[in-house]
Each structure stands twice: as C-alpha cells, then as structure tokens.
Amino acid sequence: MHTPHFRTAATMASASLVLAATAGCAVDQPGADAAPYDPDEKVTITFSWWGGEERNQITKKAIEGFEEDHPNITVETQSSDFGSYWDMLATQVAGGDAPDLLTMGGSYPSEYAGRGALLDLATMSDHLDMSKLPPDTLETGNLDGTQYTVPAGVNALATFLNPTVFEEAGVELPDTSTWTWDDYAEISEQLSKASPDGTYGTVPFANSSHLDAWIHQHGESLYTEDGSGVGASPETIASWFQLWLDGQKSGASPGASLFVEDSTAVPEQSLFGTGKAGIIFAWSGFQTDEIGDDIIEANLPGESATPGNRIGASMEYAISSTSEHPEAAAMLLDYLINDERVVDAIGTDRGIPANTELRDHLREDLTPAQQQEVDLLDAITESDAGARRPAPTGASSTGDVVTRLLQDVLFERTTPADAAEQLVSEVESSLK
C-alpha cells in the first residue's frame, strides 16, 4: 500500500457488507470435525490469499519445500484479486467451506474471530512455533487474550525524502531522528517556495493509520480499549485535519484537486515519483528503486518526543476453526513464518519477515531501499511504541471515512473541527 487508494477502501467496505450479511450463519465449534493428525495419512489442505500472478507463482514455489518435507500433505492453493478475495471468503465461511489456512488483514480478523471462524493458534503449539516473533509483533493478532493470527510480514508508516528536490531548492535535509511536526511544516513550506512552480514540499496522506499514529503521539488511541468507540478527542483529530489544511494554505502542498489526482497515481507517476514533491508519507514497503537510488526512508516527525508510529502486520495468516486438518494447517503456517526457504522464494512480497532471524537472513539480498526499510522496522520494533493492535469489528470503513473527510477539509467544504466531530459520529456508528 504505497499511496491511498480510494477503491481499496470501498472494496473493503463492500466486503464487510458481505460478511455482515452472512453473520447469522452458524459456524461450527473449533475443531469439531477434526481428526487427530496422523503423519502416515495423506491429507489435502487449502491455502488462500489475495494478489497478482507474481505473488501466486512465488508462493507456490515456496510451498514446494513444505510438500517435500511432508509428502503426506498436499497443499491446494486459492487466490484472487483483493476485492474478490473478501467476497469469496465470506461466502466460503458462511457455507462451511473455508480454506484451512487463510490470509487476513485490516479489521477482518476481529470480524471473523467474533463469529468463531478462526482457530485459537495457541491450541496448535505442538505444531506451530511463534517464539521467534517479538511479543509486540504477536500482539497484532491477539484479540482479548487469544492469538487468532500471526503476521505474514510486517510494515510501518514511513517518511520518504527526495534529496534532489532539497538540493535544487537549496534547503538542508532535516535530522529525521529528532525533527518535529513544526519542523516538517516549516521545511515543506521552504521547499515549495524555493522550487519551480508545480513542485511542492509535501503531499497530504489520507490514511487512517497515519491519523492513528498522530493520535498516539498525543497520548490517545483511535479506538477505545473495548473497541466500542473512538478513543481520541475531537480536538486531537481536528488538529490532524488542520495539519494538512495549513500545509495547503501555505503552499507547502498542492491544491485539493491535484491532491486527489495524485493520491490515485501509481508511485512512479506521482508527484514524488516524478521529482515534484520533496517529502511524502507511505508504507515502509514503498518501492523507491525506480524513483532514485538516493531516496531517504525515515521515521515520522514527532517520534523523538512521544513515539506513536508502530509496527503492524502487512498481511496475516489464520487457521479456520472448521478445518478438518488443523495440525497440518499449523505445520504449513509454521513453515511460512519460520523457514528460510520461504524468504528465499518470496522475499519481501508480504512485507518484512516478522521472524527476526529470517529478517537477518534476508539482509543478504536486500536492495539499498529495502535495507532502509529493515533498519526502520528494527528501530521501531526496539522503541516503546508497541505494535498496532487489531482493529475492532466494524472498523473496516474507517479508512474510507478518513479519506472522504480529508477531501472535504481540503476543498473547504467543512472545517477541521466539524470533520473531527463527523468522523467520531460515523466511526462509532460503524463500530456499533
């Protein structure tokens, strides 16, 4: 997820409606149809994920090693594009035909776990070793004390800076280990003023996780502890909207229409990708190799005072509670998160490995851009910010709400204060 994509948010909201429509369908108790694992018995398990053809091919290549180690287990694969995946999964779960091992993301772990559709992974401890994943990282899949998912990979929010834009504008690069949001605003304005028309210091980031980090830096939480409401004050939320509006008014960032156009552009055709923006925010896996070898990846402003940027799962794995072969599924999951052959096959396709030993193994083949990402994730992991907790049930629409309201603020159809009040109202309505 490199830049906000409006269709992605709408797709997740649509998939939530499909899940909600099947919520009344009963889900069998975990392991109800499961027989004890017999290493001599030939079994077939299904593994499903979303992604394109390249992901399909490298994942199937990775699975070959598992099948060689376990000749009695055949892995059947299912994949589709992101939007179709969630519709398909909701239908499969409702029909009692869920994949044995499935891929999760966003607020879906909370929604599926709440329906009893996911297995408590602690019950598979004889076949699944999660000890090589940092405790904070494991928290990304822990709901009310139950481990329902583990990360397929991890990521975090990051700041990206283009030194060429700074050099041409005659503006010094900031010390990103200590800079503040005031520094960011001032530097962005300086870049815009000293650059040719059409080149900007920065671009807003319409992303609920960025808002979440901002809120945590202010000592609050986006959601309440029990997931029933918004935990941040309207004033803190309004200050985030104000940040972007102030940047637009100062000329540090583009006008609203150009912002909307840029937010849907592919990275290499975006303002940043074409050298017309000096600073952007994106996920740590944002690929900068085609943009320039000297692109700098750093932490968010404000982190030196109060860390709010946290490690999160870029994708997650879970086992269906109705799997007839949960032990075999757990063995495949163990292989995916702990075996070097998987990293050799898929690299960073699903994010940086959560397993720190595999992360070290990966370093041997990293590009300079990927090395910066690993260094950033290591630093955030070692901070006291913790990890992003699972989003509560009903939170899948939050991203869409944030994007729409930020557009309204930048087009000056509403004020930051009113947008904050509306955000709280809409998000809490979805959560309930």
* Percent of the chain topping pLDDT 90: 75
* Percent of the chain topping pLDDT 70: 92
Structure letter (DSSP) for residue 299? P
Query: Could you tell me the sign of the dihedral formed by the alpha carbons of 65, 70, 76, 82, in that order?
Result: negative
Burial class (CB within 10 angstroms; exposed 0-12, middle 13-18, buried 19+) of 348: buried
Query: Could you tell me the sign of the dihedral formed by the alpha carbons of 270, 1, 282, 355, in that order?
Result: negative
Angle (nearest 5°) at CA 40 between 36 and 41 = 60
43: how many CB neighbours lie within 10 A of its CB?
A: 19
Phi/psi of residue 275, nearest 5 degrees? 75, 25
Q: What mean pLDDT comes out for the span 284-310?
A: 90
**pLDDT band at 13; cut points 50, 70, 90:** very low
| Joined tokens for residue 428 | 């809490």
Length reported for the chain: 432
**pLDDT band at 387; cut points 50, 70, 90:** confident
Q: Which of 318, 346, 343 is nearest to 332 (CA)?
A: 318
Cβ–Cβ under 8 Å, residues 320 and 98 = yes
Res. 39: pLDDT tops 50: yes
Res. 144: pLDDT tops 70: yes
What is the tens place of the pLDDT at every residue in 398-409? 999 999 999 999
Structure letter (DSSP) for residue 265? S
| More confident site: 17 or 4 | 17
pTM of the predicted protein model: 0.87
pLDDT recorded at residue 136: 85
Ordered domains of the chain (ranges, CATH): 6-155+311-382 (3.40.190.10), 157-309+394-431 (3.40.190.10)
Res. 303: pLDDT tops 80: yes
DSSP 156-168: -EEEEE-HHHHHH
Separation of alpha carbons 133 and 141, rounded Å: 12
Q: Which of 23, 427, 418 is nearest to 224 (CA)?
A: 427
For residue 237, give every residue at least 6 positions away whose Cβ sits within 8 Å of its Cβ, in sequence order, or none: 211, 215, 230, 419, 420, 423, 424
pLDDT recorded at residue 363: 86
3 state DSSP class of 252: coil
Phi/psi of residue 3, nearest 5 degrees? -135, 160
| Joined tokens for residue 109 | 């772990």
pLDDT recorded at residue 33: 53
Phi/psi of residue 375, nearest 5 degrees? -60, -40
Q: Which of 32, 98, 90, 79 is nearest to 319 (CA)?
A: 98
pLDDT recorded at residue 432: 79
Which residues partner with 311 through β-bridges?
387
Separation of alpha carbons 215 and 425, rounded Å: 17
Residue type, 121: L
Cβ–Cβ under 8 Å, residues 48 and 101 = yes
**Residue 117 CA: distances (Å) to CA of 43, 346, 361:** 21, 28, 34
Separation of alpha carbons 143 and 148, rounded Å: 7
Average pLDDT for the chain? 90
257: how many CB neighbours lie within 10 A of its CB?
A: 11
Separation of alpha carbons 254 and 188, rounded Å: 11
pLDDT recorded at residue 293: 84
Res. 17: pLDDT tops 50: no
Interhelix angle 234-250/416-431, rounded to 10 degrees, is 130
Separation of alpha carbons 382 and 398, rounded Å: 28
Separation of alpha carbons 188 and 185, rounded Å: 5
Res. 397: pLDDT tops 70: yes
For residue 4, give every residue at least 6 positions away whose Cβ sits within 8 Å of its Cβ, in sequence order, or none: 205, 206, 207, 263, 264, 403
Residue type, 82: F
pLDDT recorded at residue 21: 40
How far, rounded to the nearest angstrom, does the alpha carbon of residue 152 sit from its chain's CA centroid? 11
pLDDT recorded at residue 35: 65
